Amino acid sequence: MILKNKQTTLIVTIGAFYAFLIFGFADNLKGPILPVLLDEFSLSYAQGSNILLMLYLGFMLSILGSGFLAGKYGNRSILLLAGLIISATVTGMSMVQDQLLLYPLYLLVGIALGGIEIGANGAITDIYHENSGKFLNLLAVFHGAGSMAAPWIVGIILGKGMPWQTVYRGSIIPIILFPLLFLFLKMITKGEKIIQPKIDTSNKNLFRDINILLLAILIFLYVASEISFSSWLVDYLYKARSFSIKSASIMLTVFWGLVMVGRLIASFVVDRIGYMKSLIISISLAIISFSGGILPGKMFTYLLPLTGLFFALIFPTVTALAAGLFPDNKSKVFSFLFFFAGLGGLAGPWVVGYSANWFGIVVGFPVLILFMTGTLVVLFILKARLPRRQVE
């Protein structure tokens, strides 16, 4: 069977979108399951933070390796490898009974997610050179869909009194379909030459560029905000606002649902109104909604999920901005930025968790507003540095 270029492009696009669906689902099981793990294994907030730290340590290590391997073997191979790892890890999660096994398993989840991050973003930007902001936001829509499904499913399963491992048992088959898709693609395109984008190796001082460093700080602060929010929202609502686990999980589902809707909307508007303007408006509104949501009174709490609508476009739009600023070094730049994204995912929940351990979740959870404010400050600095044509 010989595929035409358009058919291969379609399959790779579908595969990348499905990979991000699995990414969002696997990554966001941790938030609603975390309170159960803390209770079942008698873990402190500090120990819970250390488990989350393993996931993002794995993500960071994977980003470093995946960027190199993607340049050598291609993004499809990275996605296939990531799919095999996540399939094996979810199978392990479905059987785990010992808290010590959580650490290596979460590390492997992070390794798989890092491969998906590099492989899917790289595949999409290789295919869609024009309107990359549109297609990266569409890619992120599937992350939002998976992220929305995770707490909803966990809430139903835990609400019925079933063990948390049931969530992983039920997800084995859908997750295995992900590597099978890329294995199928590899088999039917065997011998086909995959043209890798040309890489500019002349700029040895690429990572000394102030704009890249600012983008790295920006993505670090934003991801610290998003992952802290999704990791600790359920516990905050459960412990501080007297929500049930099921109701708190529904709130997280609504958050990710609004992320998905926001990214769908963003795919039609970011290229029109400009990347930088979109980013500044979004993070400003996110700060307002989050600040309102942590005000005393349960009524204000319902503003918290609205933060997802404003978070929605930030990560994919920053990625598109970076691809536009450094088109000949996308693989290197993506690896660098996604490493800092992993660092943010590691540091954010850890800071919030330890703050909750010392002062209680009522004080610990609102700490993430510092990351959000920092994101806005860096955006203004970057906007002032870039020529007008590069931020539109």
Mean pLDDT of 35-55: 81
Structure tokens at 273: 């109104």
CATH number for the domain formed by residue range(s) 5-390: 1.20.1250.20
Q: Give SS3 for 111.
A: helix
pLDDT band at 372 (very low <50, low <70, confident <90, very high): very high
> Is residue 195 scored above 70 in pLDDT?
no
Please say whether the beta carbons of 58 and 102 come within 8 A.
Answer: no
**Token match 């960071």: residue?**
60
d(CA 30, CA 292): 25
pLDDT band at 2 (very low <50, low <70, confident <90, very high): very low
What pLDDT is attached to residue 108?
93
**How high is the mean pLDDT of the chain?**
83
Predicted TM-score of the model (pTM): 0.73
Mean pLDDT of 239-260: 84
Structure tokens at 318: 């920053």
> Is residue 227 scored above 80 in pLDDT?
yes
Structure tokens at 185: 């693609």
Quickly count: other Cβ atoms within 10 Å of residue 42's Cβ: 9
Q: How many helices (H) and strands (E) does the chain have?
A: 16, 0
What pLDDT is attached to residue 200?
47
Q: For 125-171, what is each residue's pLDDT tens digit?
A: 777 766 666 778 788 888 878 887 888 888 888 888 888 888 888 88
What pLDDT is attached to residue 150?
84
> Is residue 391 scored above 90 in pLDDT?
no
Query: Measuring CA to CA, how many Å separate 125 from each of 116, 221, 322?
Result: 14, 24, 11
> Is residue 193 scored above 60 in pLDDT?
no
> Is residue 342 scored above 70 in pLDDT?
yes
What pLDDT is attached to residue 132?
67
- Give percent above pLDDT 90 in the chain: 19
Any idea where the domains of the chain sit in the sequence? Answer: 5-390
